[in-house]
Structure formats: structure tokens, C-alpha cells
Amino acid sequence: MTTLTAELIAQIYEDAEGELSNAEIYEKARKLAGLSAEDMQLQREFGDKKVKTSEIKHKIRWFQQTLKHAGIIEKVSGVRGVWQLARLTDKGLREPRANVCVVGFSTELGVGIFGDARQVFGSVRDEPITLCFSSPPYLLRNARAYGAGAESEAAYVEFIVRTLEPIVKNLVRGGSIVLNLTQDAFVPGRPSRSLYLERLILALADDLGLELMDRLVWVNRAKAPGPTQWACKKRVQLAVSYEPVIWLTSDAMHVRSDNRRVLVPHTEAHQKLIDAGGELRTTSYGDGAYRLRSGSFSAQTEGAIAKNTLIRGNLCPDTLFCHKVASELGIPRHGATSPTWLASFFIEFLTKPGELVVDHFSGYFKTAIAAERLGRRWIGTDKVLEWIAVASHMFRGHPGFEQTPLIDSLIDSYQK
């Protein structure tokens, strides 16, 4: 006898490669599970009204709803009680229908949700958010599988502001919003750069009341040469080697940051200076704006204050792991992911253990895994079920890990 599961019901629809009525799915499920016709007729009471119905058929209908929310099956329009495998998006990926939010996986510290970020965070109550760190879809000339599509500056800015609106409403006083964005956005058909970033910062300040704390620069010297058209072909631009990271807060005077949490090692030369008792001279620079006194830099400290220029490559063990999992499962790889270290830096800088960190464009859930490892609570959302299925493998073995059947159903559909 085979246990009735959502995976089994999904497999029946996949094998059928067409429409199935409820009567047909009941019969196929009965045979696969090794149940008798009498078993199918056994009834029990359900709900407040104590309605009697077949327990097995009720379970199958429950699995149908689970698979529907996962975007795996859909009702056939205009026909009652007939279902079929859901059509994929034009990118070949499964996305949720409107107003659908389903837990994909969870741990003791957090939950990964398949659904629309605005709906998820719009329903968050009594869960103050200390940090939102995210790498949203970039403003690109051509849409990618992970992105929001090719849009105008105004539409893109509106999209980002609206997705952040419910998160900002739940920010603690002095909580932070940090966004890793792109520098590779240009005026259509011209080598002049888009001003979308400036427009976005102003919109976040004007519409959501956020204050700009800093524009950080993430220098990635391993970045591929680009922009292709203007740097490599037309030769009128320089190759880009950095991405902007904007940091905003709900209250600059009560911001939760502490740079002592992200100190960096002293250089060898500076450590020698400290060990030697500091400076031996007294002088000034910049017409007296900066004074150097004998004994300066003599105190032994745990490290130097981190600069707002982050110099490190995009190579990330977690990305390599997720790509390996995706290849093994036959799932398309995510087209662009940020490294875990970037999220880790801001989580340590801007939060304390136990505080809530969120990411409304989670992708491979790098923010979530960084928060998990650093002992922060987390919520991650994404609208692509494939990314959630791949990312869930990073969390296996973490305390309290659970995975909902819809992930297993998706994986089974790819491995068929």
C-alpha cells in the first residue's frame, strides 16, 4: 500500500499530461495507494458544521489545493471539478497566483515563503523588523528570469518603493533598509547612465520617510567587462567594477548600527606603528583641519573601522552549492545572485542576535542563510518556487528544519 501524499497526486497529473476530473483523480489515486472502493466511501465529519464526506477524497482535495497554491496544477476554466498541470511562466518557472502565500521551508529561526512580498509583509503583525537587506531585480534593458522585467525608470522606482512599503511600516525605530543595486543602467540608446538610483533614493525619502545613511561601493574587480555596448564595442565608457549599495534608516538619530561589530584587522604597517607606541611627530594637514600629535595611534584596539568601500569578489561557496543542487535536480540556475558575505556584513553591522532580518527578493536565500548562521531571526520571500526548492538544501540540518510537500512535488516533477 502506498501512502497518499501531495507528491503522489502531482505525479498522477504529470503522468496524465492532460485534464483530469475529480472522479478520475480519485480512481487513479485509489489504485496507486492500493485502496478498495469501500475505503473510498468511509466518511467522517469535517468543519464546524460537521459535514460528512469521504475522508480519502477530502485528503485528495486538500492536496489539490496545496498543489494549486504551489502553481503546479490549475483548474480548467469553465469546467467544474476538472484540473490539469499548470502552465509555466514565459521564463519556464513556477510563480504564485495573486494573493497566494505558501510556506516553502522553515527552521527555528525563520521561514521561507513562496508568494508576493507585499502580501506577506503586509500581513506581518507584532514582528518589528530591524533590517531589510535585499538585492532586488536590477533595472535592465532586457528582462531576466529572476527580474521584474525591462521597465522605465519611473516604473522601476515605483515597483521598488511599493514592495518596501509594508516592510518600512514594520521597521523598528532606527531600523535599516539596505539595497544592493546595479550601476549598469543606461538611458535607452545612449551611453549616459540612468539616474534611477538618485530618483529611487529621493522616492524612498519622500514617500516612505527614510533617511539616507550612506552610499556604499562594493568593488568587484572580477566583474565581467561591461557595459558591453559602450565600453567593449563603442569604447566610450570605462569598464564597471563596482555596484552601489544604499543604506537608509527610519531614524538616523536612533540607528541600530555599531561599527565595532564589523572591525577589520589592522594592516601590518599600522600594527607595527601601534606596537611602537604610535606617532613620534606633531604636525597638521589641510590647513590645520587634521592634526597629528605625538602618541597618536598608540592604543591597542581590536581592529580598524571598516570603510564604506567593500572590496571583495562575487565568488561564494553558497552560490556554488546551490548551482550544484540545481544541476542535480534538473532545475534552471538562478541567473544572478549576490554573495552571502555581503548580507553577513550588514547583518552584523546593523543587528544583534535574535533580531528580525528580512529579504523580500530572496532568490537563493543568501540573506536568510547569513541570518541563520549569525543567530538572527529571518523571513524570506520569493515568487519563484524553483529558487526556494534549491535554497532549502542549505538549511537542512539546521535546528527545526521542515520542508512542505510542495517542494517535494516540484522536485519530483523535474526528476521525472
Convert the pLDDT of each residue in 355-372 to its tens digit. Answer: 999 999 999 999 999 999
How would residue 90 be classed by pLDDT, with cut points 50, 70 and 90? low
Residue, of 260 and 279, whose pLDDT is higher: 260
Binned at pLDDT 50, 70 and 90, residue 276 comes out as confident
User: When comparing pLDDT for 78 and 255, which is higher?
Assistant: 255
Q: Which residue in this structure is represented by grid cell 572580477?
A: 222
Percent of the chain with pLDDT over 70: 89
Contact 171, 128 (CB under 8 A): yes
Least confident of 32-41, 122-131, 182-191: 32-41
- Of residues 404, 342, 313, 414, the one with CA closest to residue 88: 414
> From CA 202, how far away is CA 317, in angstroms rounded?
36
pLDDT at residue 5 greater than cutoff 80: no
Is the pLDDT confidence value at 147 over 50?
Answer: no
- The C-alpha angle with vertex 332 and arms to 331 and 336, in degrees rounded to 5, equals 135
What does DSSP say about strands 171-180 and 82-85: parallel, antiparallel, or unpaired? Answer: unpaired
Q: What is the pLDDT of residue 12?
A: 80
Q: Which of 61-70, 222-231, 286-295 has the lowest mean pLDDT?
A: 286-295
Residue 209, φ and ψ in degrees, nearest 5: 75, 25
Q: Is the pLDDT reported for residue 88 higher than 90?
A: no
